[in-house]
Amino acid sequence: MNHADCEVFAQRWTEAIVGTSYVAMGRRMLARHLLELTDQLVEGFLAAEFDPSVGRDVGVAMVESHFTGTDTLKETLALIAEWLPGLPTSAPPRVDVSSRVAQLVGSLAAGYASALRERSLDEQDAIYRAGLRARRQAEQALAASEAKFRAMFTEAKMGIGIGDMEGNITDANPALQEMFGYTREEFTQLNVSSMVHPEDAASVWDLYGELVRGERDHFRMEKRFKRRDGGEIWTDLTVSLVRDESGVPAYQVALLEDVSERRRLQAKLQYQAYHDPLTALANRQMVTERLDQVFAGPASQRRVGLCFLDLDGFKVVNDSLGHDVGDQLLKTVASRLTRCCGPGQLVARMGGDEFLIIVEDTGGEADMAVLADKILSAMAAPVRVGGHALTVRTSIGVVERPVADTNPADLIQAADITMYQAKAGGKGRYAMFDQNRNDSEVADFTLSATMLAAVARGEFYVVYQPLVDLGHGTLRGVEALVRWRHPTLGVLGPERFIRLAEDSGSIVQLGHWVLARACEQAKAWRDAFGDAAPLVSVNLAPRQLHEASLVTDVTQVLADNELDPSSLQLELTEQSLLGDDAGPLTMLTKLYGMGVRIALDDFGDGYWNLPDLRRLPLRELKLAGSFAAGLQSPCDRVDQRIVRALVDLAHALDLTVTAEGVETLTQCERFQAAGCDTGQGAWFGLPRAPEQIDALLRGADPLCNREAL
Amino acid sequence: MERSSWASDDVDIEHASPARVYDYYLGGSHNFAVDRQMARQAMDLWPELPLIMQANRAFLRRSVRYLVSQGITQFLDIGSGIPTEGNVHEVAQAAAPEARVVYVDVDPVAAAHSRTILAGNQHADVVQADLRDVTTIFDHPQTRQLLDPTQPIGVLMVAMLHFVPDEADPASIVAQYRKMMPPGSHLVLSHATHEGRPDQAGSHTELYRRAGAPLTMRSRLEVEALFDGFDLVAPGVVFLPLWRPDSPADVDDHPERFTGFAAVGRCR
């Protein structure tokens, strides 16, 4: 046997069966493998003791290499049957070649078939086992996840319902059962379509329709349901579509959270946000929003009216009878107001004892006047509270305007201001908004509000009016008077702003500023003119006398300017000393004790109290200008006698007397004749800048107008 | 589309599975009647299919040997299917005994069988996962145990991506793998194409579509595009038998009959 023959055979074998089965070998490796099998076959074929099982071994080996194709076997058998008989040359004698070939071929076929059968059965077995294992694992995983789902379904605080695609409810968890009051069995008799609530938004069922048609996968909304017992619940509802593996809608799952309590709370909070808890009327917030609505709409032709009410003397009720009575009174007022109003009219409590009525679409001020009258008469009957019969009086500010001409803030402000006018006008009445009056009040308000800043900016200055000794005709002193050089209104006199300053309290700072300026000036004169320097007289507002720091302030200013207290005079009116407070008198006494001259200003105007002249720590009496006017008349001797009596009285009390408002020679002479010590007025000179006082002191200018007249 | 989240992936042996059909093409018996029926229908339409599958399998073998020759000893075989002659770990470990392999297949039966075959093998394991769950695959305990993330990995997507339709954006899936692949890693890819046998492609695609495993055949350019971020190893994207054949004799006279492209790329 020639090995080369075997190689040739193996090569032909390779060509014949390559591609007929899948083996993990390239062609060269395959050829090597088949050569080994060829050697094995040839050896067996030529063996002295022939054993056909060598064929079987080769068949088995082939299947082990993953030759599994039938064509592989067919080609192999054909090749062996064709080629082996050509090898008798090296065969032992008496060998039956064709019998051996037939046996070998048969044996190889049997080995291949039997190995293939075993292999196939093993592989089938393996794949079935793998299938079973995989299925078991999947089932375990499914069971685990179903157990998890079941636990979640049962234990969830959220209601869970499951339905088929026809809307039949198939399951409901305990939370859902409790939420609706149905048992699970009752639920399974229900269809989703029966869960309509009469007030459902149409969109609920549109969304539901889209879901069951498979057009959407979930939706979420707040929806009301009827419970089994007829009660109503609000739920946060999420409905989800569950599809099968091929994407076909299979069933629906609804998750419901009971949000009834939250809704109730929200409604309550909403109500509280817009209502006054005591009277249940609308509150300021609601007023703001309602007015915003009124003004948000198209303005053309629309008019709106407000009544701003304030109870007169409510504080007294509260303070004297207690807050409970006050609260009852407010509730009664609220219900009376509500009865006065109809549709399109909103009654609100703005706080305290202030109420506001908004009237939409008014026809003019007359409509509002009718309403205001109606309110005033509704308030006329006494209010019975806890055994008291309380008379309620209210002041009402009324404003009525075209919507186009105003805005909510201006409207309320106008009504508020007008209410104060009604109060100032005597209470228990209404006032209709007056534009001119409003303008002047706005102007006053503006002046008042900007005053202190103007002081700081240096817009204020002090002028000085001569006080002239009527005996010697010399300059005895000057009265310091304040002016405001307003950037737009020009120079303003005290009559324009002192009252405002007193109302706002700015008078304290302003008065102190004037005092400080005047004392600085006094020092300047003292430095320049020594003992010839004039006494400086400064007005003291009633309010200043209530400032605890007045004495220290005066002391400090005097010290700052190294002034003797006797060179300063403070003028005050009798009015300053009215009232029960002992403070002002104590302070005056201290100032008097320091040596500061105290003058009683404008004596004779209005209120006279002669005993005060004795009681008060005074050094000077200033007779009001009205006396000067009286002395002007040539024939009236009564006035002269009165002036003389006053001067005598003052002198008796050790007071000096200054005549104010002296404008003519006649007046001057008559005051001289009456024994008056000092004169002040146009006759002696108008208020002027300090430099002009310097000129007087130097004698450069004449002391009075006498020559000029 | 929402599926019930508490129902696990069902084990479906009522329908043909690509893994078992592939096994049948290779002459194996790891398959059920439905698989064989499907395979026979396909072979009636296209008798060369077994040869194509053999060529694909042969490419897998050659590419793994090539990667080992490049020093790569760890492999991630995505869509590994039913284990059969010439498995990746056998080929790799024959050349480098320390080589490690993680097989990945979404088919629970294929994964279960692989687990049995690999029982006791310290260097190979299987993860049941979808190709698209890239982080699941890389974070899986088996993967972390077997593959060293600091060393290059051979990622095999052999006869895999034609089961991913264009809508699922196979390029972005490959890109996700690339991000996870350490420097020096390689991607091995074979892919069905209509180029070569356009006459057969249509009916074949239809058959797989009906069987629930739709095929997307792709052109050479489309396959090249999947290698974005990789340098293609010579000879680039070629018909299966032409990729680094063991010997010229292994190359058929008409390699285009093997209507699949093969290519290997190295991470840039």
Residue of A558, A533, A540 lying closest to A476 (CA atoms): A533
Instruction: Give yes or no for a cis peptide into B235 (omega within 30° of 0).
Output: yes
Give the span between the Cα atoms of A351 and A124, in whole angstroms: 91
Which candidate from A22, A131, A240 shows the least CB-CB separation from B2? A240
Structure tokens at B206: 């239809």
Chain A to chain B Cβ contacts (< 8 Å): 117
Query: Residues A230, A258: contact at Cβ < 8 Å?
Result: no
pLDDT at B4: 32
**Cβ neighbours of A498 (radius 10 Å):** 19
Bridge partner list, B188: B156, B264
Same domain for A480 and A390, yes or no, is no
Same domain for A429 and A404, yes or no, is yes
In a domain, B118, yes or no: yes
Same domain for A424 and A474, yes or no, is no
Q: How many domains does chain A have?
A: 4
Taking CB atoms and an 8 Å limit, are A138 and B8 in contact across chains?
Answer: yes
CA distance A295 to chain B (A): 50
116-155 of B, contacting A, C-beta below 8 A: 116
In a domain, B11, yes or no: no
Whether residue A119 lies within 8 A of chain B, CB to CB, comes out as yes
Whether residue A472 lies within 8 A of chain B, CB to CB, comes out as no
CATH number for B226: 3.40.50.150
Same domain for A416 and A293, yes or no, is yes
Q: What is residue B122's three-state secondary structure?
A: coil
pLDDT at A28: 87
Q: Residue B2 pLDDT more than 80? A: no
Alpha helices in chain B (DSSP H): 18-25, 33-45, 49-69, 88-95, 108-118, 134-139, 141-146, 170-180, 198-210, 220-225
Taking CB atoms and an 8 Å limit, are A134 and B61 in contact across chains?
Answer: no
Interface probe, candidates A112, A119, A127, chain B, greatest B C-beta count within 10 A: A127
Q: Residue B1 pLDDT more than 50? A: no
Residue of A672, A612, A617, A610 lying closest to A643 (CA atoms): A672
In a domain, A240, yes or no: yes
Strand B100-105 and strand B124-128: the pairing is parallel
Integer CA distances (angstroms), A388 to A320, A333, A376, in order: 12, 15, 20
Give the span between the Cα atoms of B148 and B133, in whole angstroms: 19
User: Helix, strand, coil proportions of chain A in percent (round to 5)?
Assistant: 55, 20, 25
Residues of A in contact with B27 (CB under 8 A): 21-22, 66, 68-69
Q: Residue B3 pLDDT more than 60? A: no
Q: What is residue A510's three-state secondary structure?
A: helix
Give the span between the Cα atoms of A232 and A258, in whole angstroms: 11
Residue A247 — left, alpha, or beta (φ > 0 → left; ψ -120 to 50 → alpha)? left
Whether residue B44 lies within 8 A of chain A, CB to CB, comes out as no
In a domain, B163, yes or no: yes
In a domain, B85, yes or no: yes
Residue with tokens 């939370």, as numbered in its chain: A175
Query: Residues B229, B263: contact at Cβ < 8 Å?
Result: no
Residue with tokens 């009086």, as numbered in its chain: A393
Instruction: Please state the φ and ψ torsions of residue A284, each to the nearest 5 degrees.
Output: -60, -40
Same domain for A292 and A253, yes or no, is no
A591 contact partners, CB below 8 Å, separation of at least 6: A550, A551, A554, A565, A570, A598, A617
Same domain for A319 and A429, yes or no, is yes
pLDDT at A92: 65
In a domain, A548, yes or no: yes
Interface probe, candidates B30, B65, B118, B251, chain A, greatest A C-beta count within 10 A: B30
Cβ contacts of A372-376, under 8 Å, gap ≥ 24: A372/A307, A372/A396, A372/A398, A372/A430, A373/A430, A374/A340, A375/A307, A375/A309, A375/A336, A375/A337, A375/A340, A375/A430, A376/A428, A376/A429, A376/A430
In a domain, A709, yes or no: no
Taking CB atoms and an 8 Å limit, are A27 and B6 in contact across chains?
Answer: no
Taking CB atoms and an 8 Å limit, are B113 and A26 in contact across chains?
Answer: no
Which candidate from A23, A138, A241 shows the least CB-CB separation from B2? A241
Whether residue A3 lies within 8 A of chain B, CB to CB, comes out as no
Taking CB atoms and an 8 Å limit, are A126 and B30 in contact across chains?
Answer: yes
Instruction: Please state the φ and ψ torsions of residue A240, each to the nearest 5 degrees.
Output: -120, 145
In a domain, B194, yes or no: yes
In a domain, A144, yes or no: no
Same domain for A170 and A70, yes or no, is no
Strand A475-486 and strand A535-539: the pairing is parallel
Same domain for A524 and A489, yes or no, is yes
Instruction: Please state the φ and ψ torsions of residue A243, each to the nearest 5 degrees.
Output: -105, 155
Which candidate from B6, B82, B110 shows the least CB-CB separation from A145? B6
DSSP for B60-82 reads: HHHHHHHHHHTT--EEEEET--S
Q: What is residue B32's three-state secondary structure?
A: coil
pLDDT at B6: 32
In a domain, A131, yes or no: no
In a domain, A450, yes or no: no
Whether residue A143 lies within 8 A of chain B, CB to CB, comes out as no
DSSP for A268-317 reads: HHHHHHHB-TTT--B-HHHHHHHHHHHHHS--TT-EEEEEEEEETTHHHH
A359 contact partners, CB below 8 Å, separation of at least 6: A304, A305, A306, A307, A341, A344, A345, A367, A368, A371, A400
In a domain, A388, yes or no: yes
In a domain, B127, yes or no: yes
pLDDT at A522: 95
Which candidate from A19, A130, A217 shows the least CB-CB separation from B112? A130
CA distance A187 to chain B (A): 22
pLDDT at B205: 76
Q: Which residues of B138-177 are buried (b: 16+ CB within 10 A; e: fewer)?
A: bebeebeebbeeeebbbbbbbbbbbbbeeeeebbebbebb
Same domain for A294 and A188, yes or no, is no
CA distance A126 to chain B (A): 7
206-265 of B, contacting A, C-beta below 8 A: 245-247, 249-250
Residues of B in contact with A243 (CB under 8 A): 1-3
Burial class (CB in 10 A: 0-12, 13-18, 19+), A597: buried
CA distance B113 to chain A (A): 5
Residue at which a domain ends, from A238, A264, A290 = A264
Residues of A in contact with B10 (CB under 8 A): 138, 245
Same domain for A301 and A414, yes or no, is yes
pLDDT at B8: 36
Shortest CA distance from A214: residue in chain B: B1
Same domain for A308 and A388, yes or no, is yes
Structural domain that includes position B194: 48-267
Residues of chain A with pLDDT under 70: 1-2, 88-95, 299, 579-580, 606-607, 634-636, 700-709
Residue of A514, A563, A520 lying closest to A538 (CA atoms): A514
Residue with tokens 């694909």, as numbered in its chain: B56
**Cβ neighbours of A218 (radius 10 Å):** 16
DSSP for A544-567 reads: GGG-TTHHHHHHHHHHHTT--GGG
Same domain for A221 and A255, yes or no, is yes
Residue of A308, A528, A532, A345 lying closest to A423 (CA atoms): A308
Residue of B185, B184, B137, B183 lying closest to B160 (CA atoms): B137
Least confident among A573-587, B6-20, B102-116:
B6-20
Residues of A in contact with B53 (CB under 8 A): 22
CATH number for A549: 3.20.20.450
Give the span between the Cα atoms of A688 and A704, in whole angstroms: 13
In a domain, B261, yes or no: yes
CA distance A142 to chain B (A): 5
Q: How many domains does chain B have?
A: 1
Residue of A227, A244, A246 lying closest to A235 (CA atoms): A227
In a domain, B171, yes or no: yes
Taking CB atoms and an 8 Å limit, are B108 and A137 in contact across chains?
Answer: yes
Whether residue A248 lies within 8 A of chain B, CB to CB, comes out as no
> Does the reported pTM lie above 0.95?
no
ipTM: 0.84
Write the pLDDT tens digit of every residue in B205-253: 777 777 666 788 899 999 999 999 999 999 999 999 999 998 777 777 7
A167 contact partners, CB below 8 Å, separation of at least 6: A191, A192, A193, A212
Structural domain that includes position A422: 278-433
Shortest CA distance from B60: residue in chain A: A24
Bridge partner list, A678: A469, A658
Give the DSSP H or E segment for B160. none
Please give the radius of gyration of chain A, using alpha carbons only, rounded to the nearest integer.
Answer: 59
Q: What is residue A219's three-state secondary structure?
A: strand
Q: What's the average model confidence in pLDDT over B187-199? A: 85
Residue with tokens 């302070």, as numbered in its chain: A587
Interface probe, candidates B6, B60, B63, B250, chain A, greatest A C-beta count within 10 A: B6
